[in-house]
Amino acid sequence: MKITRISTLAVAPKFLFVKIETDEGIVGYGECLPDKAVIQAAAVQSFEHYLIGQDPTRIVHHWQAMVRGTFWRGGPSLGGGISGIELALWDILGKSLGVPVWQLLGGAVRDRIRVYYHCGGGTKEELVASAKALMDQGFTGLKFNPTGKQRVVEAPGTIERAVERVRAVRETVGNEVDVMLDFHGRVSPSMAVILEEEMRPYRPTFIEEPVLPENVPALTKLATQFKTPIATGERLFTRWGFREILESGAIGIIQPDPCVAGGVFETRQIAAMAETYYVGLAPHNPYGPLNLAACLHVAAASPNFFIQEIFDVTRLGGRAVKQPFEVVNGYIELPTRPGLGIDLDEEYCLANPMEPQVDHGRWFFEDDGSVADW
């Protein structure tokens, strides 16, 4: 079997899919990080000269060639392109053998995958209503960002409003639901300490990205002052990007994202590294259905898996795929179809292209006009 063609589809609302065709008629689908989709698509196409004519089942070999054959390695753009290709290659391998990808990763260690959903709302009342709706649907975990844009040091009123949101959600859902908080790297280390201490009585399951992950010493210092577990990893790439943060002992939950961290096998290897440090796995995925599929296969085969992120209904597949996933009482059953287990509805994808303005970025600005982390 040989690769004959590689293409990408940028699909509304914000998906970037990869399609790899073979001379035996087997088609593999993958997904890239959709941010700056034009750049991601160019990264995918840049590997055509190497991949066309190659055996698609030599996945690790091709991954090594794409990563190590480039002098300037890593980063979201190149990493996203390689990751999307890698997902599609696993899809081809599973389909060629007639088995789901998790079977090729050593078999399943669980029967179903627990998932959590984001709740939100501009007001505290809207947030509480969203949380209650998720609990009524059977979810046992939810996540939200209690803070808006943050200055280096914030006023007491800002802190109190953020804490009040956490208190209101905890009182709504009770103590049997995991309430996860995402600071989104917006908060300075000094403010993160204050916020965690104030929110601690409401028992958050973890605080995600209390500060940006590239400053490992800052995360390590926070870990000595927090009582709440720290989660991070969505902005890290390959196992080498995760090594230092795991060695630091600062985190309780690792959050690699298959569509940017390196793909299915790289995410499984990161999970295995984390297991040796007694760190749980909660793969990141606010993106599309093929990346979710990759997460589910890794979760199925990873003993230290904790919970899987989903973002909204469209991320489960919607009309973009032929067999969307279904959440039942907060769980998704193991995929049983060969490969990643879902195929694109290409007719729908071509008829619903991603809007160009979606790809331009999003910005937060402080009251004085300076740029803030969003």
Q: Which of 99, 115, 137 is the last residue of a domain?
A: 99
Whether residues 88 and 236 share a domain: the answer is no
Give pLDDT tens digits for 144-188.
999 988 888 888 999 999 999 999 999 999 999 999 999 999 899
Note whether residue 351 is domain-resident.
no
Shared domain check, 80 and 116 = no
Same structural domain, 325 and 278: yes
pLDDT tens digits, 288-305: 999 999 999 999 999 999
| 164-172 long-range Cβ contacts below 8 angstroms, 24+ apart | 164/124, 165/124, 165/127, 166/199, 166/202, 166/204, 167/202, 168/124, 168/127, 168/128, 169/119, 169/127, 169/128, 169/131, 169/142, 169/144, 169/202, 170/202, 170/203, 172/128, 172/131, 172/132, 172/135
Domain hosting 184: range is: 102-339
pTM of structure: 0.95
CA–CA dist 321, 89 (Å, integer):
18
Same domain, 286 and 300: yes
The residues assigned a catalytic role are 184, 284
pLDDT tens for each residue of 118-154: 998 889 999 999 999 999 999 999 999 999 888 888 8
Could you tell me if 15 and 42 lie in one domain? yes
The domain spanning residue 154 has which CATH number?
Answer: 3.20.20.120
Residue 11 belongs to a domain with what CATH number? 3.30.390.10
* Shared-domain flag, residues 75 and 206: no
Same domain for 149 and 25: no
- The answer to whether residues 335 and 225 belong to one domain is yes
Question: For the chain, how many structural domains are there in total?
Answer: 2
What percent of the chain shows pLDDT beyond 90? 83
Question: Do 71 and 7 lie in a common domain?
Answer: yes
Residues 87, 171, single domain; the answer is: no
